[in-house]
A and B are shown apart, each in its own frame.
Chain A
Amino acid sequence: MRCKKCPQRAAIKLPQHNISFCKDCFTEFVHSQVAKAIKSQKMFTPEDHILVAVSGGKDSLALWAILLKLGYHADALYLDLGIGNYSVQSRHKVDHFHETVAQPQGATLHIHTLAENEGAGVKELATMMHRPTCSTCGTMKRYHFNRAALEKDYDVMATGHNLDDEAARLLGNVLRWQTEFLDKQTPTLPASVDGFAKKVKPLYRLTEREMAAYAVINKISYIVDECPMAKGSKMLVYKDVLNRLETESPGTKQSFYLKFLDKQAKEQASTGSITSHDQQRLTPCQTCGQPTSMEVCTYCKMMAKAKAHV
């Protein structure tokens, strides 16, 4: 199979676009998709300072690499969750990428370690709070990435969520008709109220397979193993179902999520923006000051329970 853009041997076929690319043309394609996402969703400008949430996985490290290649000011934050050997390996991947790729380009890596700051790793915290580990992990990540972006004065926080992540989340929400969660499933979330950093997902146009291929082609060493805490997760089931549909009918994931975004943009134009909704329903947490729809935010409630347990 040959590349559709040049005479080189193809490295990857993308059935959803009915095209094949060699290594260089594929890399160019990924960069153009990210650039298109940044521009069309008004994510950030070349003057902005970006904080990338990195985990050691393919998506976040590739995102950091792409933003630096495109000339953006991109630093990163790694949250050490304390999940045994998995966290040791993922930290090693992040450190290696920082030392060999990011630091030589002047980028900074920030580290927040749960065991040092919260007194225990995410698994132990989840046990103390009688909550599922993945939900505890989500709360910790949202809280610390938002807080770090604000405290360290970044203009925007970027995560490595790809098309598969967003399509699987949309499928999960639609299957349960959790329409209240759909409003916030956009690639750009504004800093709607004091205490919220602007959040963006520049990889939302690219599939998980495309991101893994980008990492392999560009020799980004990432943690291939799945998080041991994710075993049995519903998101993995939704991703599997969507990939089967995608194989039978290429383009399914893209049309599912991107057409949802088109529909949502029209609805928000008539019903009001995320900013005005947030301003109506969020107030500062009485403990930490971050915006919440309750008196005390989920993170502070969880930490109070954890402290009571000790």
Chain B
Amino acid sequence: MKVHLTHPPKDLDIPGPTLVRQLLQQLQLTPEAYLVIRGDDLVTEDEVLNDSDSIEIRSVISGG
């Protein structure tokens, strides 16, 4: 699947199927600091992501 990280911007190709929770673990990302978005929809940690999915992992942190 195509995975786009917003911060820092990075595009990755990761094989599916995998759970959202496992994807965040694999990328060593803290779940509280990110949203996982498929198309226009948020997906929860127990959802399965497939090879054909395009995923955005968006950092929620802002401000200095």
Chain A interface (Cβ < 8 Å from any Cβ of B) = 1, 10-13, 20, 57-59, 134, 137, 164-165, 207-209, 211-213, 216-217, 219, 224-227, 229-230, 233, 235-236, 239-240, 243-244, 246-247
Contact = CB atoms under 8 A, between A and B. Distances in A.
Given A11-B41, A216-B35, A226-B7, A1 B61 contact: no
Given A1-B46, A217-B42, A226-B7, A208 B64 contact: no
B37 interface: yes
Nearest to A12: B42
B63 A165 contact: yes
B2 interface: no
B61 A208 contact: yes
B64 A244 contact: no
A213 B64 contact: no
B64 A20 contact: no
B12 interface: no
A185 B33 CA distance: 23
B60 A209 contact: yes
Contacts of A219: 40
A24 to B, nearest CB: 13
Contact of A230 (B30, B59, B60, B64): B64
A212 B35 contact: yes
A164 B62 CA distance: 10
A185 B28 CA distance: 33
Given A213-B35, A247-B30, A247-B31, A227 B63 contact: yes
Nearest to B60: A212
Contacts of B59: 224, 226
A212 B58 contact: yes
**Most chain A CB inside 10 Å of its own CB: which residue of B47, B59, B62:** B62
Contact of A240 (B33, B41, B42, B44): B33
Nearest to B46: A1
Nearest to A134: B64
Interface string B1-25: 0000011000000000000000000
B63 A230 contact: yes
Contacts of A137: 64
B64 A235 contact: yes
Contact of B61 (A10, A229, A239): A239
**Most chain B CB inside 10 Å of its own CB: which residue of A1, A57, A211, A226:** A226
Given A209-B32, A243-B32, A247-B30, A216 B37 contact: yes
B51 interface: no
B63 A247 contact: no
Contacts of B45: 1, 13
B7 A233 contact: no
Contact of B44 (A11, A209, A225): A11
A29 to B, nearest CB: 14
Contacts of A58: 60, 62
B7 A213 contact: no
